[in-house]
Structure 1
Amino acid sequence: MSRLKRVLIIVTTVVVVIGLALGGGALYLYSDAKVSTAGSTEFGNELTVPPQAPSTVRRDGTRVFRLTMQEGRKEFRAGKSTSTWGFNGDFLGPTLRAERGEKVEVQIRNTLGEESTVHWHGMHLPAAMDGGPHQMVAPGASWTPRWTVNQPAATLWYHPHPHGRTEKHVQRGLAGMFLLDDDRAGRLALPRSYGVDDLPVIVQDVRFKGASFDHGHQLLRDTGFLGDRTMVNGTLDPYKAVGDELVRLRLLNASTARVYDFGFSDGRGFALIGTDGGLLEKPAPADRIQLSPGERAEIVVRMKAGERTVLRSFPHDSYGGGWQARFAGGDDSFDILQLRAAKTLRPSPKLPGVLGDLEVPDGSDSARERSFGLLTTGINGRKMRMDRIDETVVRGTTETWTVRNDHTTPHNFHVHDVQFRILEVDGKEPPPELRGAKDTVFVPPLKTVKLAMRFDGPADPDTPYMYHCHLLYHEDLGMMGQFVVVEKGQRAGKVGARHAHTGH
């Protein structure tokens, strides 16, 4: 009995020690997972504003841009040179700009050591020009997509889309804005002087390992890469001096996994004037705007002479449980950008009460409904395959898509080519910030969104568009599907070996 007692004591002691070690380790991981730069950022670097890309106009009216994917080096921190990728420069790319109705051509050259693509996120254009994983550009090769701009004024962007490697290609610096203008928006009294009172704000989170980017995924971060600091337009700790009463910020979440809840450090409100696909019907007052990866928002903030305010990302509770929120970044906070108002400000006209009409369907004429279940392992239980068409839609028809997040990991949902209207969020009317034209929507754990979209073509039964989670680690794992647009009575073609991606 004494021997058995000794064994029981030893076993109990070992179990307790292991339990304490595991509990202590879990507590350490939990406490160490929270990141905050709020209130501690010095804002010592003037914000870089990406240049507007030069273009030429041919006799037939085609506006021609040139983009070169290239390697580079950049000193994000003094004395530390980081290896980067960029378009026409060391990191990120220039802002492309075109008018509704214009014919556009982009001459793209790849000087990198590996193949990549350029996807026009939010653009309505033929599938063969979309820049998805079927339009790979090999090292040393060129690609020249052409299309006619036929959608309202909006803040779009461009980025790579190679199947299985999108996360790292975007992190290395391949991204830029594509702004669309139209006559109606041009007549509105909105801030519009690019880089002055109309600012591109490309937000990314980063982590450095020595002088290099650290692209590693930390333990328990099943959403993907989460950095420990942020930068805007490739600038760490940025400030921007402004000289106007009203300042328009074109917010782009170009991070690969992080969801931001933007607001101002002093709690001031702002006017939300636009979402992914363009202007709202009227300005919406707000003090926070949440953006998941790939989403955009246009906001206008009022400044007073001589003051300073900080655009901040606040903690948010849209991740479900506390454990998931902690390890997915929901508890994190960041100082994003400091605005410094001049001692004397130029007067700005009052914002118009009416901005435009939404050119997205309301779902009343939907010809078909489809459902999509989101899991990290795939969509509707299927992992992405380059040679499989998952859905076939008829040109000119409206459809209603119901998208469900089927587990406790946050996701979002991006559809190529179209802008959609969010009809419902968990069976309820969407809040004001989700009532504009959208191409990407956040879907919190165990939540459902209902979307209405119209497929205006052109039809191409052999070349697919994508729909996928825009948390890029999830996309790279295969959380993506393909659809083609066909004429009525036409069947989908077969995506052959010519489309296959040899590296995945």
Structure 2
Amino acid sequence: MKRRTVLKVFGWGAGGAVALGGGGFGAYYLSAKQDTVGKLAFDTALSVPPLAPSQRGASGAQVFTLGIQPGETRFKDGKATRTWGVNGTYLGPTIRARRGERVEFAVRNGLDEATSLHWHGMHLPAMMDGGPHQTISAGGTWEPWWTIDQPAATLWYHPHLHGSTADHTYRGLAGLFILDDEQTEALNLPSEYGVDDIPMIVQDRAFDGDQQFVQREPLAGSLGVIGDEILVNGTIGPYVDVTTRLVRLRLLNGSNARLYHFGFSDDRRFSLIATDGGLLAAPWETDRLYLSPGERAEIVVAFEPGERVEMRAYPAEHGGVLGRLDGFHDRFDICQFRSAASLSNDTTVPAVLGVAPDLVDEVVAQERSFVLASNQINGRPMAMDRIDFGVREGTVEVWEVTNDNGYLHNFHVHDVQFQVLTVDGGEPDPSLRGWKDTVLLVQGRRYRLALRFRDHTDPNRPYMYHCHLLAHEDDGMMGQFVVLGEGEQVGNPPSRHQHQ
């Protein structure tokens, strides 16, 4: 049943009112809010994804072998849950590489259907991107390679099979991809993986009575699947034993649709040090942080000896009149941090971290406008055989992006990190002043993004731009562009190629 039809059936009028009577939609609406604050036992240590092993190839490359596979994972007492994972039964290992290093992969698909792995946030050739044109057939192996050429950052990988991205990601195919460089290593930030530098893949999931994942969409909801339990690295109700005064958290919103408004139970302030594309120029002190699906952030939190504090997801303000149904009113305990009686104090948060994005004064070769509405961009749904436009290598463009239909959307661009120039003509919030590849689009606001396109030209193999709410992406809120070398013109995308 279409969303508008649902609203008519339950009497939701154009003015935004609904009869909250004793039954029907009114009762459903009132019961939609979730609140787990104070209800979790925090009796399981946070699982930390292992670092992916690698070998040094003949070319000097770091070579990783990844196996996509089905399995079973025990999240709770009782039956195990049927899941998918990479080199395991749920999620995947953390891949780690350095700037300037060549990486090579052998990605084997052990499922009984095609899938893919997209390297979200990575600057790389389009044919290595892992998007919908680089699918891996059941039993097939894909062998991409490229040289890391971007600053240290927290990236991630996940499927990008057109029409099935939401399903494959929900089943468990995702992992972090951490990039290092000399500049970041020279800073005295917390950096011991799993000790004071902790990955946190935050996802919502729903379970049925048989402990199996259920992909439940709220009645009259607008975002897709919304779960009622929160997993961090696949752990429900986790705790972390804190042994250092400063702890760096690498946060990923790995959910299909849920918007998180992160904070702590005592409203303590923390330092945002990095966004999607790497370090900010300077830390930003705050007590709340929004992350929409696909976005990452690195924060540093200070702890005192002997204390306990919870990270929480607080209600969000961007949900619109029916936001309660899509989780915007929800409140979740995410993870408990337990400080030791004494804490080491060997790291700092420097006042200067990195270099601010620098595209504001660049010559703009082209301006483009994108309107997201009705599972389309600029009035057109995604078509695998249509390249929407080409950009010229070595140039800077400005894209103005607007969410124009009242529901939550965000905007992700493959291959590049962009600078948010303005929001509705004004300076962007501090959380948007670093390099980004995914940005939350608040209804009606105009986001002007500056993007520099460099290297990796190919007139026929496209990159994607799309909403990263995965149901919206699957339903067609996506387009394709190519990067053109001198004299090249937009070509024709290949038919969907499956690696055997």
Give the structure 2 partner of residue 235 of structure 1.
Answer: 235
Choose which of 485, 489, 492 in structure 1 pairs with 2:490: 492
Give the structure 2 partner of residue 308 of structure 1.
Answer: 308
Give the distance between the partners of 2:322 and 2:442, measured in 1 at CA.
11
Give the structure 2 partner of residue 172 of structure 1.
Answer: 171
Give the structure 1 partner of residue 256 of structure 2.
Answer: 256
Find the residue that maps to 1:136 and give its secondary structure. strand
Give the distance between the partners of 2:75 and 2:449, measured in 1 at CA.
40
Moved over 6 A (4+): 19-23
CA contact (8 A) 1:372 1:380 kept: yes
Give the structure 2 partner of residue 430 of structure 1.
Answer: 428
Give the structure 2 partner of residue 138 of structure 1.
Answer: 137
Letter of the structure 2 residue corresponding to residue 499 of structure 1: R
1:62-89 per-position Cα deviation (integer Å, ceiling 9, x unaligned): 0101100000101100222100000000
CA contact (8 A) 1:363 1:398 kept: no
Choose which of 324, 328, 331 in structure 1 pairs with 2:329: 331
Shift of 1:42: 1.4
Give the structure 2 partner of residue 352 of structure 1.
Answer: 350
Percent of matched pairs sharing the same residue: 53
Specify whether residues 28 and 127 from structure 1 end up closer, same or farther in structure 2 by C-alpha distance, changes over 3 A only: same
Cα RMSD over matched residues? 1.5
Find the residue that maps to 1:171 and give its secondary structure. helix
CA contact (8 A) 2:259 2:316 kept: no
Give the distance between the partners of 2:224 and 2:361, measured in 1 at CA.
34
Give the structure 1 partner of residue 368 of structure 2.
Answer: 370
Alignment of 1:409-424 (within 5 A): 409-424=407-422
Q: Decide which structure has greater helix share.
A: 1
Task: Give TM-score, length-normalised by structure 1.
Answer: 0.93
Letter of the structure 2 residue corresponding to residue 445 of structure 1: Q
Deviating more after overlay: 215-224 vs 198-207: 215-224
Alignment of 1:379-390 (within 5 A): 379-390=377-388
Deviating more after overlay: 339-348 vs 152-161: 339-348
Give the distance between the partners of 2:96 and 2:359, measured in 1 at CA.
26
1:150-205 per-position Cα deviation (integer Å, ceiling 9, x unaligned): 00000000000000000010010000000000000010000000000000000000
Find the residue that maps to 2:367 and give its secondary structure. strand
Give the distance between the partners of 1:240 and 1:23, measured in 2 at CA.
43
The reply to whether residue 453 of structure 1 matches residue 423 of structure 2 is no
CA contact (8 A) 2:274 2:298 kept: yes
Specify whether residues 258 and 360 from structure 1 end up closer, same or farther in structure 2 by C-alpha distance, changes over 3 A only: farther
Give the structure 2 partner of residue 440 of structure 1.
Answer: 438
Deviating more after overlay: 209-218 vs 65-74: 209-218
Deviating more after overlay: 175-184 vs 37-46: 37-46
CA contact (8 A) 1:324 1:408 kept: no
Specify whether residues 315 and 494 from structure 1 end up closer, same or farther in structure 2 by C-alpha distance, changes over 3 A only: same
CA contact (8 A) 1:224 1:473 kept: yes
Deviating more after overlay: 207-216 vs 191-200: 207-216
Shift of 1:106: 1.1
Give the distance between the partners of 1:379 and 1:326, measured in 2 at CA.
26
Give the distance between the partners of 1:83 and 1:264, measured in 2 at CA.
32
Shift of 1:363: 5.4
Letter of the structure 1 residue corresponding to residue 338 of structure 2: R
Find the residue that maps to 2:322 and give its secondary structure. helix
CA contact (8 A) 2:412 2:437 kept: yes
Choose which of 338, 341, 345 in structure 2 pairs with 1:340: 338
Find the residue that maps to 1:209 and give its secondary structure. coil
Give the distance between the partners of 1:482 and 1:345, measured in 2 at CA.
50
CA contact (8 A) 1:274 1:436 kept: yes
Alignment of 1:403-414 (within 5 A): 403-414=401-412
Shift of 1:220: 1.1
Deviating more after overlay: 233-242 vs 441-450: 441-450
Give the structure 2 partner of residue 27 of structure 1.
Answer: 26
Give the structure 1 partner of residue 49 of structure 2.
Answer: 50
Find the residue that maps to 1:474 and give its secondary structure. helix
Specify whether residues 73 and 396 from structure 1 end up closer, same or farther in structure 2 by C-alpha distance, changes over 3 A only: same
CA contact (8 A) 1:414 1:467 kept: yes
CA contact (8 A) 1:363 1:399 kept: no
Give the distance between the partners of 2:450 and 2:243, measured in 1 at CA.
41
Shift of 1:360: 5.3
Instruction: For structure 2, list consecutive stretches of 5 or more residues without a partner in the other structure.
Output: 1-10, 12-17
Give the distance between the partners of 1:201 and 1:38, measured in 2 at CA.
19
Structure exhibiting the larger radius of gyration computed from Cα positions: 1
Give the distance between the partners of 2:26 and 2:143, measured in 1 at CA.
53
Deviating more after overlay: 31-40 vs 287-296: 31-40
CA contact (8 A) 1:223 1:410 kept: yes
Give the distance between the partners of 2:119 and 2:170, measured in 1 at CA.
17
Alignment of 1:7-406 (within 5 A): 24-210=23-209, 211-319=211-319, 321=320, 323-358=321-356, 361-362=359-360, 364-406=362-404
CA contact (8 A) 1:46 1:238 kept: yes
Give the distance between the partners of 1:445 and 1:23, measured in 2 at CA.
32
CA contact (8 A) 1:363 1:400 kept: no
Letter of the structure 1 residue corresponding to residue 263 of structure 2: G
Letter of the structure 1 residue corresponding to residue 239 of structure 2: Y
Count of matched residue positions in the alignment of Structure 1 and Structure 2: 481
1:292-334 per-position Cα deviation (integer Å, ceiling 9, x unaligned): 0000000000000110111101002122x3x222122211111
Specify whether residues 389 and 73 from structure 1 end up closer, same or farther in structure 2 by C-alpha distance, changes over 3 A only: same
Specify whether residues 245 and 21 from structure 1 end up closer, same or farther in structure 2 by C-alpha distance, changes over 3 A only: closer
Find the residue that maps to 1:208 and give its secondary structure. coil
